[in-house]
Amino acid sequence: MKENTHLFLKLDWPTVGLYLLLVAIGWISVYAAAYNEEHSTIFDFSQRYGKQFVWILSALLIAAFILLLDSKFYSVFGYAIYGVVLFLLLLVLVAGTEINGSRSWFILGPVRLQPAELAKAATAIALARMMSVHGFVLARRANLCRIALVILLPAGLIILQHDAGSAVVFGAFLLMLYREGLSGWFINIVLFAIVAFVLSIVWEPVSVLMLCATISVVIYMLYRRKIKRALILTASLFGVYFSIVKWLFPTFAIDVAPDRVFILLSAIALVWGAATAIRYKRRYVWYILCFFIGSAALVYSVDYVFDHLLKPHQRDRIENLLGVKVDLRGAGYNVHQSKVAIGSGGFAGKGFLQGTQTKYNFVPEQSTDFIFCTIGEEWGLLGASAVIIAYLLLLFRLILISERQKDAFARIYGYGVIAILFFHVVINIGMTIGLAPVIGIPLPFISYGGSSLWAFTVLLFILLKLDMARWR
């Protein structure tokens, strides 16, 4: 194959170097987190650190195989790869093994395979294949629906496996779509939906809807370029609303009167808005009305989602994160112990194999989802910062690689890889320090496990292979 004649010259070695560095840090961290004095050698295959060495060797073999394949393979067979992974996601629901409440694993002797990890790479390939077709326009509704279907199909199957954490990762593809021209309104709506969901857990629904109504009014006025009126109307709306609640309904229960008043005001606003949109044919009014109605539907569906779709431990973790309740011995135990471990590391850390929190197993899952606390305790702020800098350098390098691609398929796929890695790093580190909910996703290249290491290796080296092909 002509592409492989100058492999060592065409391969982006700085990226490979960062990959090997993070993998090495991961292996050492797994050794520190799972250290057993009776099995002190790092090559002891009966221990997790010995098994991680096998996963690393097999990941390197997978990387070499990817680099030897023709780069056109991924664009030509993109849909086929996606279909095979969807079949595995369906099969694991029937023939998979349940671990920690999630039926998402195939166990083949000593090997555990999680199709959900491979689904991220397959979805990135399928999206790149679809969006790189000549004449593809992202803004068309039909194309947006097709993209949503490609993303939601694997995410939905993963939710059926009771693995909500892995399913949430697919939302990261919004970052890639934004780079390819998706309107910023979509990103803003998603962020607003997340904020509204969180506020609906902490506040009464009517208070959140009041905020949504105010935002709707402000958007309308700003669209009409009447900024002063927007500010005055917003202040008036709050003033009138709370005046009615406090003064006109003093005998009503606080959870009854606001709902009645708000429903009345909302009905009047909706009728007026619909009449205005019909009479003057103003499309933006319909958009604002849909925004408010959608907000109301979201706010009043939070209780159902929270009580029926989330598991009890997931609800407890979210409530602990938001401060609704504090349970340091139950749902909040993992994060509390993780913060204690990281904080005890200080500036330079306690030293290699000297971490007491990890050595005595105070932190659950300390070699997988919470492995960053091992780094923070033993290597302190310096070590934790070094790992974060390594990730930032890797992401920056991947952006350079993606931007220099002449082929749309390679560029789109590259930003898909960036989005997934960025989401994993931010959420995993965030949940170990109490800034994000615990959703059980690994730290790329560092957490223990064959499936995650293989999946991230596949993601990265497919991009490196596509980058090699740009020389043709």
Residue 422: predicted pLDDT: 95
Place of tokens 């279907």: 149
- E runs forming strands in 70-226: 97-99, 102-108, 111-113
Residue 232: predicted pLDDT: 54
Q: Determine contact, residues 177/146, Cβ cutoff 8 Å.
A: no
Cα–Cα distance for residue pair 62/55, rounded to 1 Å: 10
What does DSSP say about strands 111-113 and 102-108: parallel, antiparallel, or unpaired?
Answer: antiparallel
Residue 189: predicted pLDDT: 76
Coil, strand, or helix at residue 226?
Answer: coil
Q: Determine contact, residues 43/96, Cβ cutoff 8 Å.
A: no
Place of tokens 């965030």: 430
Residue 265: predicted pLDDT: 52
Over residues 156-204, the pLDDT tens digits come to 999 888 887 888 899 899 999 988 888 777 777 777 777 777 777 766 6
Residue 439: predicted pLDDT: 80
Coil, strand, or helix at residue 98?
Answer: strand
Percentages helix, strand, coil for the chain (3-state, rounded to 5) are: 75, 5, 25
Over residues 5-34, the pLDDT tens digits come to 566 678 889 999 999 999 999 999 999 888
**pLDDT lower than 50: segments of the chain:** 1, 3, 245-258, 277
- E runs forming strands in 44-118: 97-99, 102-108, 111-113
Place of tokens 């989005």: 419
Residue 287: predicted pLDDT: 64
Paired tokens of 434? 């109490």
Place of tokens 């749902």: 331
**Percentage, residues of the chain above pLDDT 70:** 71
| Spatial CB neighbours of 166, under 8 Å, sequence gap ≥ 6 | 104, 116, 117, 158, 440, 441
Paired tokens of 325? 């309740």
Q: 106 has which bridge partners?
A: 113
Q: How far is CA 359 from the centre of its chain?
A: 30
Cα–Cα distance for residue pair 376/390, rounded to 1 Å: 15
Residue 197: predicted pLDDT: 74
Cα–Cα distance for residue pair 225/232, rounded to 1 Å: 14
Q: Determine contact, residues 259/206, Cβ cutoff 8 Å.
A: yes
Phi, psi (degrees; rounded to nearest 5) at 115: -60, -25
Over residues 279-304, the pLDDT tens digits come to 555 555 666 667 667 777 777 777 76
319 C-beta neighbours (distance < 10 Å), count: 19
- E runs forming strands in 183-260: none
Residue 253: predicted pLDDT: 40
Residue 254: predicted pLDDT: 42
